[in-house]
Amino acid sequence: MHSHSRRGFLARMMGAVWSGASLLERAALVAAQARAQSRAQLPTLFEIEKVADGIYAAVANGRALINCNAAIFENANDLLIVDAHSAPSAVYALVAQVRKEITQKPVRYVVATHLHGDHTQGLPAYRSMAPGASIIASARTRTMMAELGPARLKAAVDAVPGSIENLSRRRASAKTAEERAYFQEMIDQSRAFLEEMRNVPVELPDVTFDDHLTLHDKAHELHLSFRGRGHTAGDIVVYCPSKKVIASGDLLHSFFPTIGDGYPRDWPGTLRSIGELEFQKVIGGHGGVLESPARARQMRDYLEELLEIVARAKHDGVPLDRLQQTITPASLKTLQGGYGDYLAGEVKKHDFRVYLITQSEVMARGVRDNLSAVYRNYERA
């Protein structure tokens, strides 16, 4: 990108109407923009790929603080973008990349698939960049963001100094130059995040719906829907029936599922409901584009196998630590035939935090985390 257009980019940001942000919050956003501009080049945080006519996936490159993917739907005169990453600077970088690689059309809708910070902490950037745009979520997600958002954001930022200390210790005892460089990069990215996120506010969605919302555009119809609980209590998907593409947030992606805030007993039914839609490709919240509708069934089968194992263990009074000793990637039927390798390979490729561990360690960790989350959340209703 040329420097004059970078200045233009910043001028456009600064000229935007500031609505609803305090002075301190404005200062934090201005600082984020200035930092993004002061770099020789905005960092390439995404790889943008065309998924169908007018639909693009921005697949997030690995970072110390993980960013979600964005799904970009190009309407006749404007854009709908799904999810907003872990920091405003990532949104500025994405929009600059969209301008360069896809279109100059303005952002009119931003969808937050769920409340998690790696999907919502960048929302203030959209609010200041495109003050007239609608930020859309399920009513459940908005309620959770209003109640839990500020505390969750504070916890996410407060955790970073401890993580930097840990990374510094590991850098000090690194065995190779590559390892040292890796830890240094993780530290630098964590520090930049910390610096940026002080005083960034939680930006709440301003358009909500309970179950369905249809956007009618000359280019295509977009169906937004809540199809049941899963990864959280409020996840929604965006479906384009004419182009047979779904953006699914963290309900369905190419990483191991994240079940910590989830409803494991509801999730398979929610995936079954998604499976009833007629689609060919899925832009998930993390990892590469899912190129086959079979991926929805594979993830459902995997969750159902974990549920069966946990149900039996609970019935027999088997504690989690004993269960962890017998359940491994090799013992799970649904991970055989390539699905386990696929998930672990995708994590390995797109998550910078696992840079130093092997694919089989990634798989073992995925199964261990999933099993314990299903066990802990099994009674959740």
Nearer to Zn ion, 54 or 205 (CB): 205
Q: From the CB of 114, what's the least distance to Zn ion, in Å?
A: 6
Nearer to Zn ion, 116 or 140 (CB): 116
- Using alpha carbons, select from 141, 261, 260 the residue that is nearest to residue 202: 141
Q: From the CB of 117, what's the least distance to Zn ion, in Å?
A: 9
Q: From the CB of 334, what's the least distance to Zn ion, in Å?
A: 22
Nearer to Zn ion, 69 or 75 (CB): 69
Q: Give the total of residues touching Zn ion (CB under 5 A).
A: 2
Residue whose C-beta lies closest to Zn ion = 116
Cα–Cα distance measured from residue 30 to residue 323, given in angstroms and rounded to the nearest whole number: 50
Nearer to Zn ion, 29 or 136 (CB): 136
Q: From the CB of 196, what's the least distance to Zn ion, in Å?
A: 20
Nearer to Zn ion, 89 or 121 (CB): 121
Among 74, 250, 346, 351, the residue binding Zn ion under the rule CB under 5 A is: 250
Task: Please choose, out of 78-86, 99-107, 109-117, 166-174, the segment that lies near Zn ion by the rule CB under 5 A.
Answer: 109-117
Task: Please choose, out of 140-148, 206-214, 246-254, 335-343, the segment that lies near Zn ion by the rule CB under 5 A.
Answer: 246-254
Task: Please choose, out of 116-124, 148-156, 189-197, 300-308, the segment that lies near Zn ion by the rule CB under 5 A.
Answer: 116-124
Q: Phi and psi dihedrals of 43, rounded to 5?
A: -65, 145
Task: Please choose, out of 126-134, 248-256, 298-306, 328-336, the segment that lies near Zn ion by the rule CB under 5 A.
Answer: 248-256
Interaction between residue 152 and Zn ion (CB under 5 A): no
Q: From the CB of 116, what's the least distance to Zn ion, in Å?
A: 3
Nearer to Zn ion, 68 or 130 (CB): 68
Cα–Cα distance measured from residue 283 to residue 111, given in angstroms and rounded to the nearest whole number: 14
- Contact string 185-204 vs Zn ion (x = CB under 5 A): --------------------
Task: Please choose, out of 35-43, 170-178, 244-252, 271-279, the segment that lies near Zn ion by the rule CB under 5 A.
Answer: 244-252
Q: From the CB of 205, what's the least distance to Zn ion, in Å?
A: 16
Task: Please choose, out of 35-43, 180-188, 195-203, 243-251, the segment that lies near Zn ion by the rule CB under 5 A.
Answer: 243-251
Interaction between residue 116 and Zn ion (CB under 5 A): yes
Q: From the CB of 304, what's the least distance to Zn ion, in Å?
A: 21
Q: From the CB of 231, what's the least distance to Zn ion, in Å?
A: 6
SS3 readout for the chain: CCHHHHHHHHHHHHHCCCCCCCHHHHHHHHHHHHHHHHCCCCCCCEEEEEEECCEEEEEECCCCCCCCCEEEEECCCCEEEECCCCCHHHHHHHHHHHHHHCCCCCEEEEECCCCCHHHHCCHHHHHHHCCCCEEEEEHHHHHHHHHHHHHHHHHHHHHHHHHHHHHHHHHHCCCCHHHHHHHHHHHHHHHHHHHHHCCCCCCCCCEEECCEEEEECCCCEEEEEECCCCCCCCCEEEEECCCCEEEEECCCCCCCCCCCCCCCCCHHHHHHHHHCCCCCEEEECCCCCECCCHHHHHHHHHHHHHHHHHHHHHHHCCCHHHHHHHCCHHHCHHHCCCHHHHHHHHHHHHCHHHCCCCHHHHHHHHHHHHHHHHHHHCCCC
Nearer to Zn ion, 36 or 237 (CB): 237
Q: 220 near 73, Cβ under 8 Å?
A: yes
Q: From the CB of 38, what's the least distance to Zn ion, in Å?
A: 31
Q: CB count, 10 Å around CB of 275?
A: 17
Nearer to Zn ion, 116 or 265 (CB): 116
> Interface with Zn ion by CB under 5 A: which residues?
116, 250
